[in-house]
Amino acid sequence: MAPPSSFKLNTGASIPAVGLGTWQANPGEVGKAVEHALNWNTHQTDVAAGLAQTLEDLQTDYLDLYLVHWPVRLVPNETSDLLPVNPDGTRSVDRSWDQQDTWRQMEEVYRSGKARAIGVSNWSVPYLEHLKKTWTVTPAVNQVELHPFNPQHKLKEWCDSHNILLEAYCPLGSTGAPLLEDEQIASIAKKNGISPATVLISYQVNRGCVVLPKSVTANRIEQNLKVVELSKEDMNVLDGMAASGKQKRVNTPAWGHDLGFEDWYGPVPN
């Protein structure tokens, strides 16, 4: 059976199985509209205002999908309004802010029709459980770092049980990561007559996740759209790589704040 070309959101809308990742790309290569769109409202105290600015920047009346990017509220200081940091290099975070307040505002913009679907990004099971206590609209997606070195099986199981679609960013492990050079992945690629990148992209679609490989060149974008069916044997190998000792995240901003992931770093609050 051929892998799906799209998935269904819990809103009833369809979303392509393979998207276009632009993180860490040269802003000029992906267009000024995307550059402006990435200036998300990190403060979270006024979601409607943040959405209004995004709509103005993109010159559109609505968004297909609007996400809360991290389960933290940043506090602007003299270092930056967008990504403020503390003297020790950690991000300036308001630890007292309750994400349930942010999500209530997200539900309001969803009901306004200006966002056709709403979701979260980088949310762990404990944070989702907290959000679930008061949500009236279930997040449509949870966009997280996913690849064979960080498959997040428990998170996927939880999201599947709540009809929340996982979106995979950094599916190739990001710039400088070892996945593309891994011997097990190379072996699967050789056996199937495909590239290691196609193995990693196909892995996510085969397990039921939207995948967002980064590319800014026409040829690479076309290559990234190639998705193949992987055998159960291949999927078992990929599923088990992290547990075999290869667990590794490539995107760990210095929040200095527990995000609820077992394999994260930093202090765990009492």
User: Residue 267: how many CB atoms within 10 A of its CB?
Assistant: 8
| Phi, psi for 62 (deg, rounded to 5) | -155, 165
CA distances from 47 to 21, 58, 111, 141, 152 (A): 24, 16, 13, 18, 28
Whose tokens are 């609820």? That residue is 260
Which among 191, 169, 194 has a CA at the least distance from the CA of 237? 191
Instruction: Give the dihedral of Cα atoms 4, 7, 12, 15; nearest 10 deg.
Output: -120
Please state the residue numbers annotated as binding site. Answer: 69
What secondary structure does DSSP assign to 155-198, as a single string?
A: HHHHHHHTT-EEEEESTT-STT-SGGG-HHHHHHHHHHTS-HHH
**What would the 3-class secondary structure string for 193-209 be?**
CCCHHHHHHHHHHHCCC
For residues 200 and 226, the answer to whether their CB atoms sit within 8 Å is no
Burial of 117 per CB tally in 10 Å (0-12, 13-18, 19+):
buried
| Collapsed DSSP state (helix, strand, coil) of residue 108 | helix
Please state the residue numbers annotated as binding site for substrate. Answer: 69
Amino acid in position 48: A
